[in-house]
Amino acid sequence: MRMTRADRGISAAAAQRLKPDRRFRRPGIRGKMCGMSAARSDPADGARRRRLATAFEAAFGGRPTHVARAPGRVNLIGEHVDYHGGPVLPQSLALDTRVAFRAVPADRVDLRTTAVGVEPAWQRYPDAMLAVLRERGVPVAGFEGVVDSALPIGAGLSSSAALLVAVGLALTSAAGEAVGAARLAELARDAEHRTGVASGAMDFVAALFGRVDGPIRIDCADGAIAPVPGPPPSHRWAVVSSGMRHELAASAYNARVAECRAALATLRDAGVTDADRLADVGADRLPTVARVLDDLGTRRVRHVVTECARVDTVVAALERGDVGAVGAALRASHRSLRDDYAVSVPAVDALVDAIGVIPGVAGVRMTGGGFGGSLVALVGAGTDDALAACVARHPGATLIDPAPGPAASVTPWVA
């Protein structure tokens, strides 16, 4: 894939100047900013580095100077509430997308991929990121880069956000721009909107503020970010791809956004004027919701209201190591997404049901945007064989590496 035209030439040394940016442009968002960090050492890193180096050499000759990486995420709970101002609980993954790049003193941006057969589908993401950066006046330099992703596409693990963030980070740092993480999250979300998905902020904030030590609770109303503990040592998160690839732009994702917007407008007309967002409608007002809205609207709002409450149930349960309470909330979340929000599909429901009855599985639910994609489960020690056997019985389903990973970063290229 090739994107042509760039705003202006830059110095290659500019990319070295990237520093942590502590100017929080979005009040309330707290946490570390993207910037230079030490490269991770992972057994798979060698193979990825070689793949990137080979592709870069073949495309441009020579070597990149830097690599930008952005992780995928598994959302533990708080599904389809980010764009309603609700809380979410994503864990950033070690699975990531990388862009090996160098700045060039020429008026062009040239980005290729190591992936085979994905054009032109992936191209719209870098195109959208570049367009948004230019529109907002963020300098973009002459640039050569190669993308390599370890994230399964369309698996509900935020492959598109990881691509947008990694490309955004590479483009801006090549130009010597220290764009703050909160600002980059907004720019990347706006770029995703241009691709046709009216997504919330979760995936971008997870990629830019995630931590290896456990999930983060993001308050999507005020942007506050707080670390949350992982499960006790007796348990771990398991991630399973259903094998049913989702494509949010072609799904009913935007329809859910629109239905909920209409429901909020109706509620406000009916006197619920203190709710600026659906996340502000508490459980105590569900009787009003049911009186004012039709059945479809009531179900959509009920999902949002109950899911927001479940996030804090899970946060409190993780803090006291109560796996039973976490599991119960995961199961309730899936029922709500399936029955009230209608974003699951039968193949995912069947997998949820099958995994849910394995002894030692505390809870399981769909994760991400839905309409296919992946599941997240909280599983006890000793469930690995039964889980693997269950997944093997479902055609197309695969276990995904749930290892947590750090936030997006740019590091000097190590040969």
What whole-number distance in Å separates Cα of residue 217 and Cα of residue 318? 12
Q: Name which of residues 181 to 210 contact ligand GAF (CB under 6 A).
A: 199-200, 202-203
How many residues at the interface with ligand GAF, by CB under 6 A? 12
Q: Which of 79, 148, 190, 219 binds ligand GAF (CB under 6 A)?
A: 79
Which uninterrupted H or E stretch holds 219? strand 216-219
For residues 376 and 387, is the Cβ–Cβ distance under 8 A? no
107 is catalytic: no
How far apart are alpha carbons 401 and 404 in whole angstroms? 9
Interface with ligand GAF in residues 234-253 (CB under 6 A): none
Judge contact between 368 and 156, C-beta under 8 A: yes
Quick one: which segment of 79-87, 180-188, 232-240, 394-402 binds ligand GAF (CB under 6 A)? Answer: 79-87
Contact 103, 143 (CB under 8 A): yes
Q: Is 333 in the site for ligand GAF (CB under 6 A)?
A: no
Distance separating alpha carbons of residues 190 and 200, to the nearest angstrom: 10
If the CB atoms of residues 79 and 186 are measured against ligand GAF, the closer one turns out to be 79
User: Nearer to ligand GAF by C-beta: 75 or 173?
Assistant: 75
Near ligand GAF in 102-161, by CB under 6 A:
158
Q: How far is residue 300's CA from residue 21's CA, in Å, rounded to a whole number? A: 39
Please count the other Cβ atoms lying within 10 Å of the Cβ belonging to residue 388: 12
In whole angstroms, how close is the CB of 126 to ligand GAF at the nearest point?
17
Per-residue binder mask for ligand GAF (CB under 6 A), 254-293, x = binder: ----------------------------------------
Q: What phi, psi does 298 have (nearest 5°)? A: -60, -45
Residues within window 352-371 making contact with ligand GAF, judged by CB under 6 A: 368-369
Strands (E), 309-396: 361-367, 374-380
> Least Å distance between CB 369 and ligand GAF?
3
User: Token pair for residue 341?
Assistant: 């929000």
Query: Where on the chain is the footprint of ligand GAF (CB under 6 A)?
Result: 75, 79-80, 82-83, 158, 199-200, 202-203, 368-369
Q: Which residues are catalytic?
A: 203
